[in-house]
Structure 1
């Protein structure tokens, strides 16, 4: 951190003291409530000027270990040469522009009319979508506003002098000039006519661009495509659909396309979504050679040394029926070894499906913007895609999200999912605005991720999408397959529980015998948690034991005998039939709440309270 060495206390007041020094008039703009800030930022204008509990010191080019500081006054981060104040009482950083913000200001981008300084009222504003019209960042504190034009500018952007003209040869070869009036113009970069952002135009050619689009990156990596994407103002292909939103692409406007020659393109706004892009500009950056690194070293033909079992060698077996009776499970995905090729340790019982042994060490997943790394987990963990507890291997975020993990089944999905239960390809829904209903389990929710068909109304939750397509059961000697029949009729019975089977939902069947099974009767409640696993939650230690005694235990939660393959035994001796009951999970909820990182349903009143607390935490 470069700073002025022990500078004297400044003559400006801490924003926290400035906000709390008096009661401000509250007003409402565009559906959100704000305080009108009308007092000075000079410390000499306050009666308690001698109070030194909130002393501000100026720092130049301030950077923390992560290379950035978030201002606690406006809630945003501006990296380009911004100077910060630090308050010794609040222990917070503030932009110099946010601290020295007069209540009325004439901005270079709006010189004819004054802008009023406002502050977000967290008590009444929980959901709002106001963005700075210059940089596009969310408004989360101090902001300048002009009601006639509905213009919103954070204090940093409001004071910038380069508004009149911008020279960015990477975006356009000519000088771009600020267009001061709001008009319905179409941006040549994003193909949108959104007038809430400032427009710039070229005086030499027919080029119009949003200010936020001028600085879009040239080369990026998104989570839903394996190759890098580069920006282009026109596509050589026609009749392409965006790889994110699945809407048609106008090839005459700016888009991102694959650098390796794939017939793949994404709208510029879709490509720079924060849930699929990690925010990094990759132009002139070398390709990461370890992105496709194998998980094993090939010793000989059919013999490997896997990174998770490096002390022993493993051999490939192509006819597993000679060695396995269906009781052993793959160490990575925890599914039984029913058919296909496997790698088996030459000295112990460690075994993989061939596909699981070939899982890459590093990969991108369409549900997370950062690169994931494969790790073996010795206890069960929570998958943030299917909201289910699993054992085995997990893909964990390698950048800034230490608690994020995805099981290998969810991580194996690519940008286009060919599911055996449906004839059309499925895509991940990013902009889900209404509740979806899973075509297999019938669950309806607007708060979990879904795979959907672009040609019909078929949708899958990730829990059903990751169900094994082929399984074996002791009640049938043949391989059972997962089926779904939308227009099925007639009565069928499950061979295990002897209750009716609804063929319009998912079920397992034998193609030779014609019998049917409920999915839970085959797989159980927690099919991916193996017996012998021990973990701890916030209250107690939990051990997973096999449910193979002569008398099945009675669950202490539901007061019924545990009927699944595994039972959860707590440190106080309670027997619980499922992880859902252990942790009090209620994953599938219709129009009720959202799911947090622990898999718990957060109801709307609690959700709003937590959002409010998160915003207020930016203040001391």
Structure 2
């Protein structure tokens, strides 16, 4: 460890022992009166007005670290530091770097906050600087608070100084590179601009008043701090693999918008970013020093369960109907005795064998049946025409878990026995959390292709809905009985509450929600999810996949490109998706999973140009091969997914408005 005396001696000064009586001067190092015989005097500065003294025993021979900190220091190479931990010398973060800390750091705040980079402790003893070419600069302790850097004007405790000229620069200004050759801008060298200026950094795209490296030929500006980010982060706490600094998003990933794995915010395509090619994982430079730990999305042991709250996403698609039943029954119990809720039948515990005229289907009687799985309809059946039974009321499948249902076989009309007999015909004022100001009436459109848009989730339905006649507001069955408070798997420790849409971005799908309601965290103001995120089941069955599909949250780590088995378009790991790890099949969460609460399959016969056509209700999604779907009658078109009537013979398309407005001559309704 080099001493202060050696530092001054190396800078070209001659010291002699001396005795001082009275108040003749101050020690240059400790800034205390120089008195007595225990002193060194610099004879080479005798011609100056201010004499240069050093206490012989207390200042001249003590190691330089004493002037930074009074206790012994210990080197920490694998210690996990906080993000705000900064080196006492260079003021930079110490995360990820070997660092000296105080061995007594538990006893005092100053000790706890003392950090010194190993590299900073090994800075050279003497340098030359372009701002002071007359003399070399020596590294000196500056314990007095009055010392500041003559370049950046910050207070300093150690400086590179010229004692003769009273010139000090901090270690950062003293050692910084004036000319920098950087891989992020190979065309030209970058020049350091010490004066702060307001600019947008071409590396991180943040705007700030800061010192910068500039390419004068290209007007390329980057923050001084961005210029020295490491090329590789070998062991980040928040990811499974090393991260490499790249200077733009690789072309292979420009198909999709990319988001930072830490803050979940947008990544500019031409920004410098840390990247894992195995996982298609990106992290902003400013987020790369995060110390958060890797979270396994399948770990549920640390979820704060509340038995009174439903945990979303629900386990399966059947759970959606179970939730409707549970919430509806609770609603009726809460209003029991008020005489407000009327039920569709007089004896709900004993379903009639036949309902002659149900309010939703009065043209034919409905017969009570029991759902069974036939032996010839096993999972490996090759019958592509086998279809599950969908309830025309709640648009949920009829399954063996609740096998009782009513059916009109002639029309292909089915209702859960609960939907047929137990749904209240009226929700009184105050019962609906979404629309508490008025009562709501249970209704259904008479034509299967006459759809309404739910005011809660903003999706369409051709099933049962509750309607406010005063405000002309619709609420489908799923949303009418959603709980007001829930737990959500990807936000484990806080409750989410149902509230009006805040025009904010969904924290899971990143779609903006400006209609209806959302579930938001009252503790974390930045977390909210669209209602549809809650409705999506955790596991789904697909008739063309032998294994169940699991809902995966972004980012979904994989190497290479995955394609949706339904639309055959590429799947982004930044989106929600259904995935099977055994077959490695993936599906967009919106492809074929009843996104709009619509029952498909109904048909009508029409005459078009004197030719009969059978039109069925279908959903068309845009693809790169077919991005526009056009009605053959009124020639309206849609760029987004849409509902159309399609001829199963020739593929002719019709919008839903044409048959509703009478533009198509209908032959029969099947």
- Superposition TM-score, scaled by structure 2 size: 0.35
